[in-house]
Structure formats: structure tokens, C-alpha cells
Structure 1
Amino acid sequence: MMLTRPKLALPRLGRPRLWPAVRGPLFAVAVFVLAFAGTVRPFVGSNFAYLPGDLVDNRLNNFILEHGYRWATRQQKEFWHVPFCYPARWVTACSDAHLGNLPIYAAFRYSGAGPERAFQLWWVTTFVLTFTATVWAMRRLKQGWLAATVAATVFTFGPSQMLCMGHGQLFPRYFVPLAVVFWWEFLNRPHWKLLLGTVACWVGQVYCTVYIGYFLGLLLVMMATAFVVVGRPNWRGLLWPSVREVAFRLAVLVAGAAALYPQLRPYLAPDHDVAKPTPELILSYLPKPIDYLRAGQPSAVWSWTRAVIGGEDTPATPTFHLFPGAVAGAGFLFGLACLFRKSTRRKPAAVFTLAALLLGAVVMHYPGWTPYRGFLNLPLAGSVRGVFRVGLMILFPLAVVAGIAAGQLVDAVRQKWGAKSRWATVAVLLSLVLLDVKSHEPGGPETGIGRTAIADAVARREALADVVRPYVDPTKVLYVFPPPGGSLHDILVTQVDAMWVSQMLGIPTVNGWTGHWPRDWFQFPTYSTLFWWLVPRNGIPGETLDRFLIFGTPTGSEDSPMEQDFRSRFHARPWPTVP
């Protein structure tokens, strides 16, 4: 018998085991980079030399973040009493206080970045965190990497979101996907830990952006309503849990309310005197159905819808550009089909679509009537002026449904025509998504979506501070009159300039710009109106008036004896024009 040498079994060469685990994340990162390049990069520049927005609103956001950093590093004594609109108190709470955003901004400042650079890096970080949170949420919903990436791209870079380029406070939305998914899981499998995740993420969103936190609360309510209507609620787990479960749920709610106290403290203070918007003004900012079909200027693909759809834009009936993009719109149609198909009514696509519909319907302005009027007596609702920004929240459930639709489409193509057709479909689909969210190059200040060179912003505040610095001592208070004959934009730029100078030099200023002004405050054009605010309205003693630093040129009538007396006593120094 002949002995044969056994053949060596050589291992088959194939893909390393690590590849399947990293392929999905690498795919998501690649799409993020492409979307970022088409939407965000034009507003920060290839060399990151620009800030998004003009010289007004985002400089206010930057100012508040810098104030928070100075307070955290003990350069400021009070956080809530930021020293503008002097001598009003709790002024930090007149707009977004950025408490939840402060750790990221402060980390960049602590690492050596200047105020403007730290603001830019914080703003860019919000895109990374929002995209990552949405991908995580979709994966938690048992969706594939394609569905997760499509949803994250639509929610992070959607046309309606990029229209807010000049309002940086509206971009930190990374708690929204987390809160919604925890809430979805709680509705399906009621447990106090899932409720804890929901409450913690909702509180975190309120700390980042009160507006978005408010709309997130509305979305969670609408999700619960949609789940009851088309889902299969676990009534026993929701309404009749064990005693231990009830105790833990109550503890979670109490802890959430306690965690909100630092954010709500100014609104509970008796001397927090803010001019709230009237109900009529709030109702005038409700969106109309046609607004969801009209895209804004940032959309390089869909801006033509404004000319086709039209619409009269007046102070009484403003128009809003809430078009979420064609991909989100297609996802909405897919969700409607799921909603009316019995086999898919209880699936996430149907519930999320109905939640988006309910949320949009509640805040909609119908001819002569709106259900939102009944919300105005609720806490916080009577202070939320720009209700049309609810479109930023509706974008999330639409993005989720669009992602689910994309995943199912590619799976159907693969089953019918094979793997090669699948990859071709993915390529076409991603091209449409990236084209859908692509933005224009930045426009001028009048568009609201411009950009400002960091070097120019720094040079501007330094030059103005150099003008004021020779006159400053620890007892001074600054005021700059609005420029005579200037546009509203010029007047607001002057207010923010004075705020930055006061912050740099450590002196309070009567100037200001914020979301909700202190009651009776405005941009005082004359000495008599300025000193009415200071003395009869706020009781500032006469010896303090003698230490005021006043710049600019008063406007209005010079005939009144009071005005002439003030002009003779208080000399206004020239305020330079900085290009």
C-alpha cells in the first residue's frame, strides 16, 4: 500500500473579518464629508476663515457663549445678568442662554481658540454630533447603514435647516434623535430606563436650544398620539405597571423637573421683566400649507419653487420657506402609503409619518382659524414667537421615513435584479440626496445667509474697543446712539458692536440686541428717551449718569428743553465707521 502525502489545505483568500464591521461607518463618514462640502463648507470657507451669518444674530450667539465662558472662568460674576440693556436684570434669559452648548465652546476656548474661532468650531461640531446621533438612532431602530445615512443627511443638512444659517442657536439638535428613539422604545416596551433616556435627552435639548426643546416636546406628544391611533399600545405596561415601576417613573419625572430648574430659574424670578410677544404676533408667524412647498435661497436645486408657487410677503402675512427637500417629501409619500396599508400601519414609518402630520396640523394657520390658539395659555408657548421653525422638528420624522424608504427600495432592487443593480441604485440614490441638500454660495447681508470673515470680525471689535478704552474706568457705563438714517441692519450692527466692546472692556452698556427685549427697552435715539429709561423707569441715581460714556449722534427733536439740557451736560463722542 502506497502512502500518499496529505495535501495542505490552504486558507481561502477573502476579505478580512474587520471589513464588514467598518464598511458601514466608513460609508456614513464618506457621505457626511460630501454633504458637508456642499452645504457647510461655503459658509466657513475651504480654509475655515469665515463665520456663518452676518454681523448681527450669530455675533449675539457668540457673545452669549463668550459670556458663559467668562463666567465659567470667573471673569464674570453673574451668568444670568449679562451686562447689556443696562440696568435690566436676567437679560441672558431674553434669548438662548446656550448653557448646554457652553461645554463644547469652552473646550475650544480653553484649548487656545479665540471667541470667533471657538464659535465657528462649535457650530461645525453641531453637524458632526447631529449626523452621528441620527445614524445611531436609525441603527437602534434596526435599520441598515444606507437607511441610517440617508436619514442623517436629510435631517442634518436639509434645505429648511440650512436656511437658518444666520441663527446658530438652531443647529444643536443632536438630542432630538436620541429622545425620539428612546420614546419610541418606551411606547413599545414601557420601562423606566427608557423613560429616563427620553427625559434626559429632552432636558439636554432644552438646555441647548429652548425653541427646539419646545418643539421636541410637541413631537413626543404627537408620537404618543400617533402610536395610540395606529399602533398596538401595551396598555398594561403603560397604564398599569408594577408599584416599583411607578415609583421609578415618578422619580424620573421629578428628577427631570429638578434638572430644568437652573434653565427656568430666570423665568420664575419676580424681577424678570420681559416684553412678551402678543398672541396676534405669534399667530402671524404660524406656517401655512403652501410654505412647506416653497424652498428658500440656500437650496441650489429647489429655489425656483418660490417663483412658481408665489405668495405675498407682508408683515401681516409673512411667507416661510419650509420645504424639507424632495427626498424628505418622497419619504412622506412612502409613509402615507404605509399608514394606509394595514400590514404596515404599526411600523415606524407609519407612526412617524402620522406624528409629523399631527405636529404640522396643530401649528398650521388655516384661513380664519388655527388650533394653536389654544396652546398660547400653556407655559412657554406664549413666549415662542417663531412658531414656523417647527419645520425644523418636522424634518426629523420625515428624514427617518425617507431613510426607511431608501433601505427598502435598495433591498427590493437587490432581490429582483441582483447585487450589481443594488449598488447602482445606491449610487443614484445618494446622488439625489446630496443634490437635494446642496446650498448656494453665501449671499449678502440682506439675504440672512451670508458669511463674515473671522479676521474682519476680530479687527472690528478690536478697533472699536481701542476708541472707547482711553475713556474707561471701573465706574463707566457705555451707550452708543443708533446711526442717523441707518437701515435696521446698521442699527442692529451698532448694538452688537457696543455689546462686544462692553464685554471686552468689562463695563456695562445700555445697548443690546436679543430675542425678547426687557420691557420698555429699545434703541433709544435721543437723550431724553435714554434718560427716561435710566431714571424714571429704572431709578438710576444722578451721580451714576455723570459717569456715562456716550458715543454717536442723537436724532429726533432738539427743541425740547429736556433734550437741550441733556445735550449740554453729556457730550457724545464720535462713533467711528468700521468697514
Structure 2
Amino acid sequence: MMIDAKSETILDCKQSSLFQFLKNYGWIFVFFIIGFGSLVFSLGKNFLQVPGDLGDARFNNYILEHFYQWLIHRETDYWNAPIFYPYPLATAFSDNLLGSAPFYAVIRILGFSRETAFQGWFLFGFVLNYVVSAYVLKKVNLHSLSVATGAFLFTFGLPMLAQEGHPQLIYRFCIPAACYFLYDFTNKPKLKTIFFLMTAIIWQFYLTIYMGFFLLLLIVVMAFMIPLSASSINIIKFWFSRIRSAWKDARGSHKLWCIAGLILLTALLVHLFIPYLQVTNLYHFSRGFDEIKTMLPRLSSYLLSDHSTLWRLGMNNFKDLPMRHEHQLFPGLAAAILLLIGMLWKKTDEKIPFLQIHATSLLIIFLITISVNEKSLYYLLLKIPGYNSIRAVTRIQLVLLWPLAVYIAFVIDRMVRLNSSSFRVKAALGVILLLMVSESVFFSHSTYSKIEGQKRVDSLRKIAEYSLKKANYPDPVLLIHGKAGDPWQITALDAMLTAQELGVPLINGYSGNAPAYSFAEWMHSCQTLPGSVNFYVDKANEFLQDPGLKLKERIVYVRYWECGLY
């Protein structure tokens, strides 16, 4: 069969287009499939494993479900989650997840269960992190392999996987976006870029407040370094000139839209922090110096990865490290090798502003947050509102993974583009990248059985329904006894999820903070129970100054069989 010249030309164009697409994006897809596939695989056959544990993972699931219940009008007030009842603003005792909860709600609206929606929400966070970081690295004209490596490290790096038990920390896609918008505004001052930058920063606060404060620190350091990289000592004058240029070049309508947008963003940020300020004033929550001190990064922190199948056996030398599970900051041997190669290489690439700014910011924040002999520059930041509420400073590594990913992507880019690259250089690069991928793939993920989690709540719900039916109160409040042999956190979360399903307020609770007089029911015997309830009720009435609350007459006791209460 003869093929005419026109058909042959079309075929050649299609083959050429496919080849160009694979050249530009092939490695990006390959690295994503490997990293994302390993996460999906960790969820087990038929998605029967839920990431995290029966503790913090289920707490995040409770908050996400609370958002969904509020969205469909089963809950009347988002900030008043019905735990630690009757104390107000319980949602603001910890992260609120408002920035990512809509993704969870969409999955729930499609008909999936609470745990399955949580799995989808968990995975989608990694998708967003990879897509945005890859997009930014592609925007600075890096090779496909360099883009893939940087995005892989930022998204699936060992420090991130080590925090999967705290899934609220996953959503970090605004970090690369904000850094890029700040850099882009330097070169092309436009009002819309300022709006995009502010949107990214405020959205990150809505995603998780921890990452919002750490991103703000990174942006401030970069804002100082950018003028210096441009040989401008007067930092204020530098930025003023950029803002003035952006304002001058903008159309009148663009100016109005930008002003309106910035006012809206400011209002959103204020709206987010008002409940937290109220909670601080009401309950006097704060983080003690000694508590913060235990979770400042040490040099040894950057050598720890206890859940890495490849490296955990050689990391038993720091047994005296307090809060060890929060110090898992080792970025991987492959990242360390590439970092060392970049440092030892000739400094020509450091003239690239994007690289130079990120690399210098990485070093400065590392020096600010490191603790040596219990001394750290970070203590100076405790005087700034917000930073004195951050307990786990070690989580700064989840932000620093971005400038580290940028640095390593540029190192690989130079290795790939060298015309004189020998076979040995290419082979060495292949081994390093294989090692990086293996470090993340061979990681011992923390999961719990979806069936076990559902059974725990189902069994407790049946008992609670019986107690509610027997009490037959018009406006009941649940007080649920702990299950013998279980950690109190797991018991509290069983109670929270059960009460959430029943739509009944709960005296028990578990969160990042708790009222001083919260009811620790697992600590009281039948002899002390009446006195403990009276004390709790008196303190709640005193706190709320609401004599019509009638709390004591509304309490339904669940699983208090040994006390003769049901």
C-alpha cells in the first residue's frame, strides 16, 4: 500500500511532536508515577490501609469531616466543633484545614466514605505539590530530568514521608508558587504578581498555619537576599522602585482590581486569625520555652530517618534526642551527594539569580533554626507574634525542601547539559538518581486498617445509641469512658468520631490544645467520677457564665458499666 507524501509528512509531524513531548515531560511523568505509585501501593489492596495512625490521622479526618458536615448544614458553626463541650472555638485548638478541606468535601459529595475521602484527600496533596513544583522548575528553563528530580525531592522526600502521621503538613504547593512569584516580580514588576504572591502566602496559612509561618520566614529572607544579589544595598529602595514601576505600568482598572483583591486577601487572613486570637485570650494557650527547645533542629536531626528501610539501621546513635520522631530531617544520601557536588563544583552557576537566592536563603534559615548546645538564633523569633506558638520547629525542613530541591535541580541540570559529559559522569548520575528514588520507594509507611478504624467506631456507636435511648434526654451530651488497654488519644478519637456520626456534643476531646479543665475521663475511678463531673460542670458554668446551660442534667454516660452507668 502506497503512502502519499502528505500522509507521510503528517506522520512525521506526529512522531516529532510525540518525541518533543517525551523529551520535555517524559522524566517528569516517570518520577511522578514512581513516587505516587509507591504511596498508592502503601494503601494496600482495595485501599484498605489508611495513611497515618489511629491518632493524629483520625483527628485530621475528624476536622475534614466537620467541614463537610458544616458545608451540608449538619453543623451550624465551623469554629465550634462539638468537642470539649461546652467550651467554645474548639476547632481553633489546632489546624483548621480550611485551605484543603474543599477537596475532601468534593470526594464525600461524590458518595465515598469518610475514610476513603481521607485517602483521596491525602493523595491529592502530593499531586498538587508535585505539579506546582514541577511547573515552577520548568518555568526557569531546566531540563526535564532536573525538573523531575527537584519536584520528586520536594514532594516525596524522606522528611515529608516521615511526617505522613501529621497529614495536615502535606499540602505545601503554595511554597514553590510564592517563591516563584516573588522572584518573577523582581524581573517583571506587575501588580497581578503581587496579588498572586499574597494569594499563595495566605492560602498556605489556610492549608496549615505551621507551613504558613515558615513560608513567611522564607519569603522575608528571600526578600532581603534578592536586592543583595542585584548589588543593591538599600533593600527598601529596591522594593519601592519595583512596586512603583508596577503601579506606573498598570492600567487604571488593573489598579482597582489589585487594590480590591489585596483588601479581600487581608480580610481573609484576619478572618482566619480572629478565632485563634480569641482562643489565646480565652484559654491563655502558649508554648513553653522548654517545649520549643526540645524540637529545635540539631545537627543530628539532619542524619535521622528512622522509617527509611535503607538507612534506619545505621541511625541508632542519637537515642537521647528528645521528641525523636519530630527530628526526622535526613533528606537522603542522594540529596546529600548532589548537595556536596554542587558545593565543590566551580561557582559559575551561582551567578544564576534564581539559584543563588534559593541557596543563600536555605543556608540562612538553616543557621537561624539550628540548635547547638541549646543555643539558637531562633529564640529571637519568639518575640514575633505567632512564632511563639510554634512548637515543632523541626517542621521547617518541609519548607526548606523547596530551596534544597531548587539547588539540586540546578546541579543535575548542569551535569545533564555538559557537552563533555563522559559515560562515567552519566552513569554516576544515573546511580545517584536511582538511589534517590529508592530511598523514597523503600520507606516504611505508617498506616492503619480502614476496617479496624470503622469497627472501633461502629461498636462504640451501638453502645452510645443504647445509652442515648435509655437516657432519652431532649438535648443530650456524651461522656464516653475509655477502653481498657488503649492509649487515651485513641479512645478520645473513637469518642469524637462516634459523637460526630450521632450528631451529639461530646465532653471528651483530643486536639493540639485543650481547656485547662478538660475532662480526662480515663483517669477517674467510679469513686472519683461524681466529684470530677461536678468540678467540670462548675468550671464550665463559671467560664461561660451561663446558668441556663444545665450541663449536668444532660450528660449521657457511655461505657461506664462498672459504675452502674450506661
TM exceeds 0.5?
yes
More moved, 228-237 vs 77-86:
228-237
Match of 1:518 in 2: 515
The answer as to whether partners of 1:202 and 1:217 remain within 8 angstroms in 2 is: yes
Q: 1:334 to 1:200 in 2, by over 3 A?
A: farther
Q: TM-score, normalised by structure 1?
A: 0.85
Q: Aligned partner of 1:35: which letter?
A: G
**Per-residue CA shift, 1:431-484, capped at 9, x if unaligned?**
122113223344xxxxxx3x1222222222122111111232541111123446
Matches within 5 A, 1:242-321: 242=244, 245=247, 253-269=262-278, 272-273=282-283, 275-297=285-307, 299-307=308-316, 309-314=317-322, 320-321=327-328
Which whole-Å CA distance do the structure 1 matches of 2:442 and 2:168 have between them? Answer: 19
Query: Match of 2:478?
Result: 478
CA deviations 1:306-343 (Å, max 9, x no partner) are 12x4341346x9871210112332343355457x8366
The CA distance in 1 between the partners of 2:391 and 2:357, in whole Å, is: 28
Q: RMSD of aligned C-alpha atoms?
A: 3.0
- Say if 1:345 and 1:351, in contact at 8 Å, map to a contact too: no
Provide the rounded CA distance (Å) in 2 between the counterparts of 1:548 and 1:500: 18
1:62 deviation in Å?
Answer: 0.4
The separation in 1 between residues aligned to 2:182 and 2:266, in whole angstroms, is 17
Shift of 1:292: 0.8
- Secondary structure class of the residue paired with 1:165: coil
Q: Distance in 2 between matches of 1:331 and 1:221?
A: 27
User: What SS is found at the alignment partner of 1:479?
Assistant: strand
Cα displacement (A) at 1:424:
5.6
Residues 108 and 118, structure 1, Cα contact 8 Å, conserved in 2? yes
Change (3 A) 1:30 1:532: same
Q: How many residues align?
A: 535
Identity %: 25
Deviation at 1:230, TM superposition (A): 3.8
Shift of 1:520: 3.3
Q: Which SS does the other structure have where 1:16 is aligned?
A: helix
Q: How does 1:137-536 map to 2 (within 5 A)?
A: 137-233=136-232, 238-240=239-241, 241-242=243-244, 245=247, 253-269=262-278, 272-273=282-283, 275-297=285-307, 299-307=308-316, 309-314=317-322, 320-337=327-344, 341=347, 344-412=350-418, 414-417=419-422, 427-442=430-445, 449=446, 451-472=447-468, 473-483=473-483, 486=485, 490-521=487-518, 523-524=520-521, 525-526=523-524, 527=529, 528-536=531-539
Rounded to whole Å, the distance in 2 between the matches of 1:386 and 1:9 is 65
C-alpha distance after superposition, 1:36-63 (max 9, x if no partner): 233x134311432210111111101001
Q: Distance in 1 between matches of 2:202 and 2:458?
A: 37
CA contact (8 A) 1:330 1:402 kept: no
In the superposition, relative to structure 1, how do residues 372 and 254 fare at CA in structure 2: closer, same or farther (>3 Å)? farther
Aligned-pair CA distance for 1:31: 1.7
Conserved? CA contact 2:87–2:540, under 8 Å: no
What is the CA-CA distance between 1:86 and the residue it aligns to? 0.8
Q: Which runs of 5+ in 2 are unaligned?
A: 249-254
Deviates further, 361-370 or 144-153: 361-370
Unaligned segments of structure 1, at least 5 residues:
1-6, 443-448, 556-566, 574-579
Distance 1:198 1:8, change over 3 A: closer
* CA 1:313–1:425: 2 relative to 1, 3 Å: closer
Query: Can you list the C-alpha shifts for 1:327-381, whole angstroms capped at 9, x where unaligned?
Result: 332343355457x836624532232121111112112212242211121121211
Q: TM-score, normalised by structure 2?
A: 0.86
Q: How many angstroms apart in 2 are the aligned matches of 1:129 and 1:402?
A: 20
Q: In the alignment, which residue of structure 2 is the partner of 1:538? A: 541
Q: Which moved more, 1:229-238 or 1:126-135?
A: 229-238
Rounded Cα–Cα distance in structure 1 between residues aligned with 2:261 and 2:41: 43
Offset of 1:537 from its aligned partner? Answer: 4.1
Distance 1:232-1:138 versus aligned 2 partners, 3 A rule: farther
Distance change (3 Å), C-alpha of 1:191 and 1:305: farther
- CA spacing shift, 1:392–1:244, aligned 2, 3 Å: closer
User: What CA deviation, in whole Å up to 9, does each residue of 1:518-546 have, x standing for no partner?
Assistant: 23325242322343122134347584312
Task: State the distance in 2 between where 1:214 and 1:22 align.
Answer: 38
Q: Deviations over 1:389-439 (max 9, x none)?
A: 111111111011111111211222x5444xx88976664443122113223
Distance 2:71 2:5 in 1: 68
8 Å CA contact 2:56–2:165 kept in 1: the answer is yes
Indicate if the aligned counterparts of 1:232 and 1:346 stay in contact, CA closer than 8 A: no
Q: Which amino acid aligns with 1:73?
A: I
Give the Cα separation in 1 of the matches to 2:239 and 2:514: 43
- Aligned mates of 1:8, 1:128 — CA distance in 2: 43
CA-to-partner distance for each residue in 1:90-138, whole Å, 9 max, x for gaps?
1101111111111110110000101110000110111111111111010
2:122 alignment counterpart: 123
CA distance in 2, matches of 1:63, 1:191: 41
Structure 1, 167-176 or 188-197: larger mean CA deviation: 188-197
User: Structure 1, residues 283-311: CA drift from partner, whole Å, max 9, x if none?
Assistant: 221111221122221x122223412x434
